[in-house]
Amino acid sequence: MMIGKRLKRLRKEKNFSLEYVAERLDVSRQTIAKWEADETLPDILKCKKLADLYETSLDELTLSENELESKLKTGKYVFGIVRVGENNQVTIPQKARRVLHIQPGDQLLVLGSVEQGMTIMKVNELN
C-alpha cells in the first residue's frame, strides 16, 4: 500500500475530514488530498504530525507492507520523537504503550551511557 492510501485509510478510520486534518497540520485541504492521491509526499515533520494525529508510528505510516512486515518480525520499532517537558517529564507515545503493554503504575528501568544513549524497559522484562 502506498503512503497515500494508508493516509486516507487512517483518516477514514478516525472519521476525520480533510479540513480537520489540514487544520491540525497547518496545510491546505488540497495538500492533504494530494498526499492521499500519492501526487505529492509530506515532509518528515508533517509525517511525524500525521503519525501523532492518527496515533500510529512513523514506521507504520511510511513503510511499505513488506518493509513493515519484516520490521514487525524483528520486534523492533521506531515509535517517534518525544520531548522533555518543563517538569523534566517524558511522555511515552501511545503506540509504544500499546505495543509494549505499558500500563499506569508499571515500573520502568532507565539505562544509559553518554556514548550510546538511553534505553527504557519494563522492570518485569528483567525477570
The pLDDT of residue 114 = 87
Angle between helices 3-13 and 29-36 in degrees, nearest 10 = 120
Chain segment 100-121, per-residue pLDDT in tens: 888 888 888 888 988 888 888 8
pLDDT at 12: 94
What is the pTM for the complete model shown? 0.57
Q: 22-61: per-residue pLDDT in tens?
A: 999 999 999 999 999 999 999 989 999 999 999 887 877 8
Break the chain into its structural domains and give their ranges.
3-74, 94-126
CATH fit for domain 3-74, picks 1.10.260.40, 3.30.70.980, 1.10.600.10, 1.10.40.50? 1.10.260.40
Q: DSSP readout, 36-90?
A: HTTSS---HHHHHHHHHHTT--HHHHHS-HHHHHHHHHHT--------B-TTS-B
Give dist(CA 43, CA 3) in Å, integer: 12
